[in-house]
Amino acid sequence: MPGMVDTHIHASQYSYAGTALDLPLLQWLNTYTFPVEACYKDLEFARNVYTHVVKRTLRNGTTTACYFATIHTDASLLLGQIANDFGQRALVGKVCMDTNNFVPHYRETPDESHDETNRFISEMLKKKYPLVMPVVTPRFALSCSAALLGHLGEIAKNNHLHIQSHISETKEEVKLVKELFPDYDSYTDVYHKHNLLTDKTVMAHGCHLTDEELKLFREKGASVAHCPNSNISLCSGMLDARRVLNHKVKLGLGTDVAGGYSPSMLDAVRRTLDTSKALTIQDPQYQTLTFEEVFRLATLGGSQALSLDEHTGSFQAGKDFDALRVNTAIVLFFLLLCSPFPFLLSGDDRNIAEVYVAGKRVVPFVETT
């Protein structure tokens, strides 16, 4: 089957995945996330976690990952190097944030963030990695001043770069953004007015976006990363994926480690189906997502959401060969009837015999050291 595309994962949060999911988003960020992310100043700590997360996601069939790192430029560059060394296709973002009242040692000034983002991008592009690219990464509107959002929009525009951030994950966040940016039409408009809503933008969550906001997404060609494990684990909301698709907004799936506790895209597939079924329980008229639709979201949909579908996402002639060889011995009977679906629901990394990215076998790993 085609390789899977994780459109939203925090490589830096892998160190505490599966722990600490007892607080709502904003408290969770202040209490657990920011103190951990501050540790990535230490490059050896970063190297250890980043090596583990790249290997773990590759082994679980993620051939393309769109990563958040931390505010630290050198550690973010290291993540790019590690993804390249292991042969994963990746977008890597140095996180930008100049507002943090709870962990003040984990923030930048707008000028630092601007200069370090420029350094990150130029260093990353200098490496000429074939499959790893930088992505402009304002954390979210609550962590960024208007000045910083403006800087980052300019940088993305001048260099035609990808952009990633978070949007409308919880109702509390939406309310605070309204208070902080009273002169804007909506949360989406805050990003739009700073040139951060483009056809190379992927915004995580979007649980509480209005129809007007989804129209703006569609108009600009921006996409949504659906992260159902995180949305349920942090009690943030339930994205109505059908509504996003009906608006013809590009949609991919994300694990959102560590708001989501699983780094596997197989889990994202299952939670997407569960969330859609939960919405059906609430409203029997609801048009539940089908298996085929969710399979597509995990592969081609994800590559479209990241504007990488020219190169990856399916076996169409002319694209790179990003693929999983799934060992189906234990599901052979069902396989005769349908195809990857039993694997998607009840398989795991033990069923993934080989992973290929751009025609090169990257799993099993070839140990180089």
User: How far apart are alpha carbons 95 and 253 in whole angstroms?
Assistant: 20
Q: Which of 37, 108, 240, 256 binds Zn ion (CB under 5 A)?
A: 256
Q: Which residues pair with 301 in a beta bridge?
A: none
Of residues 234 and 323, the one with the C-beta less far from Zn ion: 234
- Told to check if 88 binds ligand GUN by CB under 6 A, we report no
Q: Which of 29, 144, 207, 279 binds ligand GUN (CB under 6 A)?
A: 29
Of residues 116 and 256, the one with the C-beta less far from ligand GUN: 256
By beta carbon distance, the residue nearest ligand GUN is 259
User: How far apart are alpha carbons 247 and 224 in whole angstroms?
Assistant: 12
User: How far apart are alpha carbons 67 and 90 in whole angstroms?
Assistant: 7
- Told to check if 256 binds ligand GUN by CB under 6 A, we report yes
Q: Which of 186, 188, 230, 299 binds ligand GUN (CB under 6 A)?
A: 230
CB of 30 to ligand GUN, least distance (A): 11
Of residues 11 and 308, the one with the C-beta less far from ligand GUN: 11
What are the contacts of 25-34 at 24+ separation with CB within 8 A? Answer: 25/169, 25/170, 25/172, 25/173, 25/234, 25/236, 25/259, 26/142, 26/170, 26/172, 26/173, 26/176, 28/234, 28/259, 30/102, 30/103, 33/258, 34/100, 34/102, 34/103, 34/106
Choose among 10, 62, 19: nearest CA to 357: 62
Q: Which stretch binds ligand GUN (CB under 6 A): 25-33, 239-247, 335-343, 357-365?
A: 25-33
- Told to check if 37 binds Zn ion by CB under 5 A, we report no
177: tokens are 């953004």
CA 65-186-92 angle, to 5 degrees, is 15
- Told to check if 226 binds ligand GUN by CB under 6 A, we report no
CB of 178 to ligand GUN, least distance (A): 16
Question: 263 — phi, psi (to 5°)?
Answer: -85, 5
Chosen from Zn ion, ligand GUN, none, partner binding at 33 (C-beta under 5 to 8 Å by type)? ligand GUN
CB of 327 to ligand GUN, least distance (A): 33
- Told to check if 267 binds Zn ion by CB under 5 A, we report no
Q: Which of 50, 140, 181, 187 binds ligand GUN (CB under 6 A)?
A: 140
User: Which three-class secondary structure state does DSSP give residue 63?
Assistant: strand
276: tokens are 């859609």
Q: Which of 1, 3, 5, 10 binds ligand GUN (CB under 6 A)?
A: 10
Q: Which of 15, 33, 76, 223 binds ligand GUN (CB under 6 A)?
A: 33
- Told to check if 152 binds ligand GUN by CB under 6 A, we report no
Of residues 59 and 166, the one with the C-beta less far from ligand GUN: 166
Tell me which H or E stretch contains 273.
Answer: helix 265-282
User: How far apart are alpha carbons 272 and 260 in whole angstroms?
Assistant: 12
User: How far apart are alpha carbons 170 and 177 in whole angstroms?
Assistant: 11
The site for ligand GUN (CB under 6 A) is made up of 10, 25, 29, 33, 139-140, 166, 169, 230, 256, 259
The site for Zn ion (CB under 5 A) is made up of 204, 256
